[in-house]
Structure 1
């Protein structure tokens, strides 16, 4: 299930990163010509000072302007030019005093206000500088540098709307000014208006067809608009013009990574890092790609020295944490993520990574996890959500804005006419992914007379399974290129009664969208094995084995329980037949786990070492993507050796593809060991379907009771342990009874096929009953 993968949205932040740097506008205009009338001696001093200033003899010019001020202490030209010299010689306070005195003289010019604004900007007086630029433009609306500097200042202050207005006005006077167009495109982009930004960048590209940075900006806007092929072409064009454009290399490589084209991604990303080895964004993007292909040690070798140079870079900290988590170094990863959150307190990515990785920890009990989830999820309501839209016609629910706490459900009854109930499923995993597999039977079985279903596909690498899901005929909304506002507006305009999130805090999920409450009733289902922590999430769909009534206080949501298991398993086409019991040919028992490596906590490995000690000559086979990495294999092998288990008893295997080959690998395992505290979901179902019994240890939280749910539904409670000793005992007893293992191997698939785990019709009917009950409360 989705709970088995680590969340990281590094790709999105890289796509938004652009260095579109306009040419610098000078901090001051050339020496101002003489202004107010002076006595002859004063006029002579002024002309000599101007001549010296223009020829770079600043000390002589300074003496001349001071001489002018002896004749006329408030002479604006002398004061302004004296301020200019003070500025060039870093005497900023003296310069500021001169500008202020000149402005008080009444003999002001647009250039004087402009130069005053430049100095104020340099001194960090942003608001005052903006006022000075505005005053300069009132006096001379065609003062081009003032338009540019005002826009840059407003953008730097994150006053995007004001910058957009100012730039639109400037472009009426300078409609083809490249610098203004670039700034205007930036302002529109940062207001999440990618379509408008794209039009501006296209005009800029027509004016500057050989400007590399323009094509990089085009690529970013195309990417944000969901036009991925055009984005790729724009970045490739940028690199034709400038083969060493580091940001375009990084953006192109990140696009390839998000499309699962990892080998292609490595080429531009490695070149970017070679060109700028200290750039934290380049390093983070390359590290993420290396992690995706299991090269964890190589990723850490990049992030560790980069963090030594930039220890306060939040995205780099997040990527370093991602690599640590992939080696099951959860405490170290959590420490990095905590630091990243301090740097970006309400950032959804840092929050999601922190929460999801916390589920792997064997140091946090269930109440501590609940407190952490609620505290961090509440901070999502502090994030600047741009959602404020009207409730669709026909719904009696109140309009919710970003930051609103979920109201008591009894106050949010939805009045609907005699029409099908509108269900929305939100997920980045409508593809060949556990969630894509688990949701398919539901999409196949939904009663279309009573339920109208919309699938909201968050950005993901679509594949043939995506097309198969679309073929089931429900309404499909692709959110590629959509910002938060547009997604929220779409869901509201569709009049969704119940929005069901299938991702939670996993990769690609949008808990920030759920926090905006785009639907009157919201539920968490399938993709996240704990509480969301959100006050805006009304329900968590589970079962009574997962969440017995005494454990409901651990969850912020109201718990809605299915009759059997929370999962419905559907074998995929091409699934191999069950293999013969491997112990018969190997002469020993092989325990195994094909779960993701972060699930293998130190406590879990200690438990499994106990199993191996209890069953002499047995072996343990582990398969995970991170085990493609030699350094990671060495760490895990050393853990067992330190506990008295010789290295040759441990088989550490990289994953195999496609799925049919992966499932065939269960032919090497006699007994599967469920990890703890984070159980397997998909992997447990796969093992059972391939005839392999699974031993699990019952815990407290959702993620620690998935094995309990699956085995009880299968009517195999004898494989559920209440404590570590019981776990070892069950595994040893199974290992000692080869005939029993043979019988299990030959009958388990049929037993599973007839159980509630594979009853798609009954499962979907039960889910629909829950939806109707939600509407009645």
Structure 2
């Protein structure tokens, strides 16, 4: 046996027992002795990949190909490594080469489908996933990815069924569970009680209640708070957590952020600067993160994701801190018995909502949002209808919230205002199929295609906000209201008509409009929603006044007062750990707008 092959076998043995350092050394010795040993290069790439050094993984596996590897698994693994560093075109090419060698290679099909779904190439993605499920009908990941595809193409009932199948087929169903529960929030035909039952069943299906963790003796020191999120980057969550990080009283609170984001940007850097400590946890197991939290002596751990993407609810399920709180990133209960509190307000969650949560609801005075508008936002423009343009209703919400029932209501709004238009802007409208679906539904309710404007991505954030210059009055979807979109519209001088529903997701709009002083824009039924839209559209003078005053009204409200909001938040944190509260500042008085 040659020395190169001997080193290779040493590396294989080390890799099998999980000793990555020894495996790396052995495989490096293999290719040093024999640079043409393509399987040595391949295995070295896999060691780099498992060590989360993706660039080095790509380099090593590319060398394996250059040295003559002609194996579907090599091309597939190269594609996976390229996908992890967002070189998606190259990843697709490598998966294609793998499928030429092995047309039934499941991992190549599933990863192709994931990239194609991100690119709105849903028909081709579905072909790959259907092929996998013909080969392996119980492939949990394929069912989950098919559910995501169905959700992205507005086939919500099919998405729910696919996610349910993924839960039963997966060895680790956490992602499929969260996707299933998230999707239920969009479905108008599912009652609030049914949605709660599904969340509660998820929580009860987990391991038995984790044991309580005692509060540490702080000896007069600050309460240590940890924020956990996969969205500490350019994302809606950043608009709300940034003012809190900036306003925390550092004499009384120490703040650590646990970022589960795989991508970082300038917003990440800013949030990091505002934190006392920062931990990147995307590549760490729940057990490793739990140990890290224990080392950091966290008193209160705050989840900012709920069942949205990149959540770490598995961490909370096994209790990682003495006090666990969920806030902000998800419009419902987590369903976890180990989540102690959920932060909300009395409008979004009246007393009747207590029965729909496994957590204890803590209602913050002044609302549960604290919004920091993006610096350098474009100026507010004049009311388009006052400049001779057709009256334009608009919604820039995620199209998943714009169900067929919502479109039917909005069709009635447009028909009630002669000559008016409807402008919808959403990333899903980059897809021709989504555009066709929206137009078909609106036309079935009597709205001609000429009265509908459909827009996809804007080139940049300022361009996104500038699109409000084209909108006279914003429309809020239901039963899942907008949040950031409503605040962005207000910041651009555009008030939003909202319908107050029977659950948190459908009452956020009422909370926001109340706290900015525009209670008159809240309806309590579809009929009153449409009638209110028509009434307001007839009063251009009032809308023109609001156009000029709404940005300042939002800025002056409690919704943009980071200091006030954070003091109220800290009072709740004091209660959670049994510490005497700091004195309360005066809150903003709510008045109806002009």
TM-score under structure 1 length normalisation: 0.70
Match of 1:313 among 112, 129, 139: 139
2:297: which partner in 1?
Answer: 495
CA shift for structure 1 position 736: 1.4
CA shift for structure 1 position 279: 3.0
Alignment partners' CA distance in 2, 1:497 and 1:376: 26
Aligned CA distance change for structure 1 residues 721 and 471 (closer, same or farther; 3 Å)? same
1:107: which partner in 2?
Answer: none
1:181 aligns with 2:11: yes
CA shift for structure 1 position 336: 0.8
Alignment partners' CA distance in 2, 1:756 and 1:452: 24
1:331: which partner in 2?
Answer: 157
Aligned CA distance change for structure 1 residues 575 and 181 (closer, same or farther; 3 Å)? same
CA contact (8 A) 2:72 2:105 kept: no
Aligned CA distance change for structure 1 residues 441 and 270 (closer, same or farther; 3 Å)? farther
1:752 aligns with 2:554: yes
* More off after superposition, 731-740 vs 197-206: 197-206
1:303: which partner in 2?
Answer: 129
Aligned CA distance change for structure 1 residues 339 and 496 (closer, same or farther; 3 Å)? same
1:343: which partner in 2?
Answer: 169
CA shift for structure 1 position 251: 4.7
Alignment partners' CA distance in 2, 1:459 and 1:186: 29
Match of 2:288 among 462, 471, 486: 486
Alignment partners' CA distance in 1, 2:573 and 2:209: 24
2:582: which partner in 1?
Answer: none
Match of 1:203 among 26, 31, 37: 26
> Mapping of 1:458-469 within 5 angstroms?
458-469=260-271
Aligned CA distance change for structure 1 residues 493 and 678 (closer, same or farther; 3 Å)? same
1:421: which partner in 2?
Answer: 223
Aligned CA distance change for structure 1 residues 248 and 501 (closer, same or farther; 3 Å)? farther
Match of 2:234 among 415, 426, 432: 432
Match of 2:323 among 517, 521, 529: 521
Aligned CA distance change for structure 1 residues 275 and 442 (closer, same or farther; 3 Å)? farther
Alignment partners' CA distance in 2, 1:680 and 1:762: 24
> Mapping of 1:253-402 within 5 angstroms?
253-254=79-80, 257=83, 259=85, 262-263=88-89, 265-273=91-99, 275-344=101-170, 346-381=172-207
Match of 2:484 among 659, 662, 682: 682
**Structure 1, unaligned runs of 5 or more:** 1-143, 145-173, 189-195, 382-402
Please list the CA deviations of residues 644-697 of structure 1 after superposition, one character each: whole Å capped at 9, or x if unmatched. 221222222111132111111111111111111111111111111111111111
Aligned CA distance change for structure 1 residues 665 and 198 (closer, same or farther; 3 Å)? farther
CA shift for structure 1 position 711: 0.8
2:592: which partner in 1?
Answer: none
2:67: which partner in 1?
Answer: 241
> Mapping of 1:53-202 within 5 angstroms?
176=6, 178-179=8-9, 181-188=11-18, 196-202=19-25
Match of 1:664 among 466, 474, 488: 466
CA shift for structure 1 position 278: 3.5
Alignment partners' CA distance in 2, 1:674 and 1:516: 37
2:587: which partner in 1?
Answer: none
May I ask how many residue pairs the two structures share in their alignment? 574
Alignment partners' CA distance in 2, 1:312 and 1:302: 15
Match of 2:256 among 431, 438, 454: 454
Alignment partners' CA distance in 2, 1:578 and 1:353: 37
Alignment partners' CA distance in 1, 2:501 and 2:274: 37
1:55: which partner in 2?
Answer: none
CA contact (8 A) 1:708 1:720 kept: yes
Aligned CA distance change for structure 1 residues 549 and 279 (closer, same or farther; 3 Å)? same
1:734: which partner in 2?
Answer: 536
Alignment partners' CA distance in 2, 1:595 and 1:479: 30
CA contact (8 A) 2:558 2:565 kept: yes
**Structure 2, unaligned runs of 5 or more:** 580-594
CA shift for structure 1 position 533: 0.4
1:712: which partner in 2?
Answer: 514
1:613: which partner in 2?
Answer: 415
Larger radius of gyration: 1
Alignment partners' CA distance in 1, 2:537 and 2:41: 63
Alignment partners' CA distance in 1, 2:71 and 2:379: 52
Alignment partners' CA distance in 2, 1:767 and 1:252: 47
2:589: which partner in 1?
Answer: none
CA shift for structure 1 position 749: 0.4
Aligned CA distance change for structure 1 residues 222 and 336 (closer, same or farther; 3 Å)? same
CA contact (8 A) 2:147 2:163 kept: yes
Alignment partners' CA distance in 1, 2:344 and 2:211: 20
CA contact (8 A) 1:296 1:626 kept: no
* 4+ aligned runs moved over 6 Å, structure 1: none
CA shift for structure 1 position 524: 0.6
- Secondary structure of the residue aligned to 1:452 is strand
CA contact (8 A) 1:434 1:682 kept: yes
2:209: which partner in 1?
Answer: 404
CA contact (8 A) 1:225 1:480 kept: no
2:586: which partner in 1?
Answer: none
